[in-house]
Structure formats: structure tokens, C-alpha cells
Amino acid sequence: MTLKAARLIGAADVVAFHAGRGKQSNARRIAADLIPSGAIEEVLEYPVTTGLTEHPGGYAGAIADFYERSAQRLAEHLAAGRDVVLLAEGDPLFYGSFMYMHDRLAERFLTEIVPGVPAFAAATAAAATPLVRQTDVLTVLPGTLPEPELARRLADTDGAIIMKLGRNFPAVRRALESAGRLDGAVYVERASTDAEAHHPVREVDPEIVPYFSLVVVPGDSHHHDPTGRRPAQLTASAPDPAAPGARGVVHVVGLGPGPDDWLTPEAARVLAGVDHVVGYAPYVNRVPQRPGLRRHSSGNTVEVDRAGLALELAATGEQVAVVSGGDAGVFGMASAVFEAAEDPRHDGVDIRVVPGVSAVQAVAARAGAPIGADFAVVSLSDRLKPWEVIARRLDAIAAADLVLAVYNPASRSRTHQVADARDVLLRHRAPATPVVVGRDVGRAEESLTVTTLGELDCDAIDMKCLLIVGASETRVTDSGRVWSPRFVRA
């Protein structure tokens, strides 16, 4: 506890603290010797913690009502001119109940927040475990996260703190094992109290883990380099010249547009057997973490760099998957890998492309059969080709009366291309030409809109959309289904 906190508690008119139903408050116990004998004590007792509740709003509703009632109790003291000290374990703004009081009271009453020692700082000190150093990244995770999500985040960081254990501990332990972070992970319970204990996570009995416990996962940069410097993100070890035949394989894998159901069995089998997965972070995040899998995430505009990393890893004998959304061969990573493979350093690395369900297939299936006849596919992104080339191709496609699928229609920095493309198409297509706009198809936010070329709302289109522009024979049924006949009139 800080000296400032002790001074304020000793001068308080009202001392408030949270407590579980039928339990003593840990915060009150810590501050007991400092509370003035004449102070009013407000016990804010939770109506429910992990049990069931009959509240019509469920757990969330019961807790929200509790915070409203608690805030009102404190507001009455503050309005009467009394100084209120609200005790909080650890730091008040770190997973603390004080935050909900702050939300309700800070705009009405003068509020001073006194920082405290957070639980994880006390735990790392108790276990004498260096946590992060140099440029290591520290991630604080609640143990209540879904197990696959927890494993993924553990694999993607250097140091980590996992809080809120209790009955979540078995899933946390499995997540640590899947992420390859179980060795070295330290369990600490009731840090800085008389009941403090710490053990390797492997040795902990999951049946006796209290809620007030956490896991410390040390950053491991010092294992790679004794100076503590992290290795570069997009580099791999050089191949061993003594083992020229030890080259692995780069598998370029299409994950499909989103749902697990759209991941092909072949893709799932490949991902289950590789040593590394490389790709744009949102796509890497879709690959379940498992023991032995290393993840290499990067941004959205460094395709050749991450392809080079994959090839370097494969040159050391590793099995590597480069992942793309949809189909990797349709505006995906397959071309980037072959481009990077032209570098003589990567001679002899085997590249295998695993097909996936493409975004155009997914949108077309939702709409009906708009690509049942001849169709073309164009990306409106002018990052790798001039807009003049795109416009010329659009004009030719429209003149040839082909159904058109449009990828990458717009972004935050590309806002005019959809309207410009519509103007090009209208030179050859009627304004009544059907247009399908698929947004986030296959995901929870999925939407599908059927409109016309003349009425297309260009401002509503972004990178989450894929457009299918019909040909002259494309039709819309009374139920709103879109299809293109197989026959074409002469």
C-alpha cells in the first residue's frame, strides 16, 4: 500500500469496500489497522459471483443493478459533504470493481484515484520471475477467454499474465500446453498475503485453485539472445550447409471466407501437420493453436516479405503454411510466394498450393447462381497496377457482356474506384443490370443486398464487400434470387 493511500484511509469519513456474499473483504482486511474508529463502513456485498441468479437480466443485469445501488449509497455520503474512501485490491483501474463506481460517480463528484500495486506485480515479485525485458511484449489475459482464443494469444506474445483462474484453471493449463508455453509458467496464489504460494503450473492441483490466483508466463527473449534483444520478426535461421537435402515444404493454404465449415479437409490436414503458420494476422488468428506450432503474423501490405520468411523457414527443413482468406490463388498469397521464390536463395524449396472456397463462390452461392455463365474477376485495388489498366479491363469485360465479380472494391484510402468502375460499366450495361453486394459473407455480420447498377450506393461499399455485376441475361426471381442462364443469345 502506498503512503498516500494510508494517509487518506486514516482521514476518511466513510470507508467503503466490496465483498462476496457471506465473505470478508480482502481489501478491508488489508486496510483494517488504518480505518478510523469513527469512520462509517459501507459493505458493498455482491448479490452473485459465479452462481445462478433469478434476476430477469441474468448475471449481467444483477451486477448492473448492484453497481447502481452501490453508487447511490456512496453518492448520498458525498452529497452530505463526507469524504469517501473506496478500497480496491491491487490497482483501482486494473480489473477492479472501482471502475464501475467511477463510471457512475466521477462526473458528479470530485474524484482522486490513488494507484496501487497490481496483483501481477506482486505475483512476479513473489515468484522472483523476470517477466519481460528489452522489446518483449507483455499481454494480460483473463482466464475466462475461450480456450482456443487464449492459446492463440499466448502463442502470439512474449510475456503474459493470466488472471481470473479458479474453475477456469484446467482450460488455462490446456491453453498453455497448446501454445507451447507450459514450461516455465508459474502459478501464484494470494500474492503478498500470509497464504502466498507459488509453484510451476505443471504441479498445480486444478481442484484447489482459488479465484485470487494467476499465472506468470515469462517472456523468453533471453533464451534466444543473452543480451535480451528479440530476433527480427521476419527472419529465419540460415539453412545448414551440411544438410543440403533438409529442405521442407511451403504449403500455401486457402482458409475459405470465414466459417470453419468452409475450410476443406485437405487444408485442415495440412495445417495440423506444419511447424509454422505465416500470414496476415487475422488469417493466422483463424488457425487453432496446438503444441509445436509457431505463428508468424504480419501486416496487410508485406506479402512478399512474409512469403520470403516462409521460404527461409522451409529451407531449414521446416514444414510451413502460408495462409490466405478465401482461395490463396485468387488475389491471395500463392502468387506472392512464387514471386519471392524467384530469388535464387530459395531454389529447391517445394511449394504446394492448397485450394480453398473463394469469396466469389461464397457470395454467388448465397445469391443463387449469378456466375452460372461465363464470368470475369477483377480487383479494383490499384496498389499493384495503375487505375488506367483496371478501367481498360472493366471496359473490355462490359463490352464482352460477361458477369463480373469485383474484389477489393474500396478502402479507407481508395474511395472513388467503385463509382468510377460503375461509370465504365454503364457505357455498355443497362442501369437495371442486377448487382449483388455481399458483405462479410460467412461471418456473423453477413449481409446480402440485391440492387441494380444504376441504384448502387457506392458510398456504402468497403473492403468487406464483394460485388457481382450481372450480364445482360442475368435475372432476379420474384424471391430475390439472382441467376445467369447458361445459354447466350446470338
Q: What is the pLDDT of residues 409-418, one digit of tens each?
A: 998 888 899 9
Please check whether residue 90 lies inside any domain of the structure. yes
Q: For residues 20 and 131, what is the distance between their CA atoms, to the nearest angstrom?
A: 31
Instruction: Answer yes or no: are the C-beta atoms of 105 and 78 closer than 8 Å.
Output: yes
Clarify whether residues 368 and 477 are in a common domain: yes
Q: For residues 146 and 162, what is the distance between their CA atoms, to the nearest angstrom?
A: 13
Over residues 207-242, the pLDDT tens digits come to 889 888 999 999 865 444 433 333 434 444 444 433
Clarify whether residues 201 and 255 are in a common domain: no
Clarify whether residues 420 and 469 are in a common domain: yes
Clarify whether residues 84 and 167 are in a common domain: no
Sign of the Cα torsion 336, 338, 340, 342 reads negative
Over residues 241-294, the pLDDT tens digits come to 334 445 789 999 999 998 889 999 999 999 999 999 999 988 998 999 988 899
Please check whether residue 180 lies inside any domain of the structure. yes
Clarify whether residues 266 and 348 are in a common domain: yes
Please check whether residue 489 lies inside any domain of the structure. no
pLDDT value for 49: 67
Residue after which a domain boundary falls, among 334, 354, 374: 354
Grid look-up 481489501 returns: 27
What's the mean per-residue pLDDT of the chain? 90
Please check whether residue 488 lies inside any domain of the structure. no
pLDDT value for 487: 85
Residue after which a domain boundary falls, among 52, 78, 105: 105
Clarify whether residues 374 and 332 are in a common domain: no
Nearest to 152, CA basis, from 14, 16, 288: 288
Q: For residues 354 and 405, what is the distance between their CA atoms, to the nearest angstrom?
A: 22
The residue range of the domain holding 43 is 3-105
Clarify whether residues 275 and 298 are in a common domain: yes
298: domain CATH number?
3.40.1010.10
Q: What is the number of domains present in the chain?
A: 4
Residue after which a domain boundary falls, among 290, 320, 354: 354
Please check whether residue 228 lies inside any domain of the structure. no
Q: How confident is the model at residue 57 (pLDDT cuts 50, 70, 90)?
A: confident
Over residues 362-385, the pLDDT tens digits come to 999 999 999 999 999 999 999 889
pLDDT at position 394 over 70: yes
Greater pLDDT, 487 or 115: 115
Rg of the chain in Å (alpha carbons)? 29
Nearest to 456, CA basis, from 483, 432, 473: 432
Clarify whether residues 171 and 212 are in a common domain: yes
Clarify whether residues 349 and 368 are in a common domain: no
Nearest to 294, CA basis, from 156, 147, 136: 156
Residue 197, C-beta contacts closer than 8 angstroms, at least 6 positions apart:
188, 189, 190
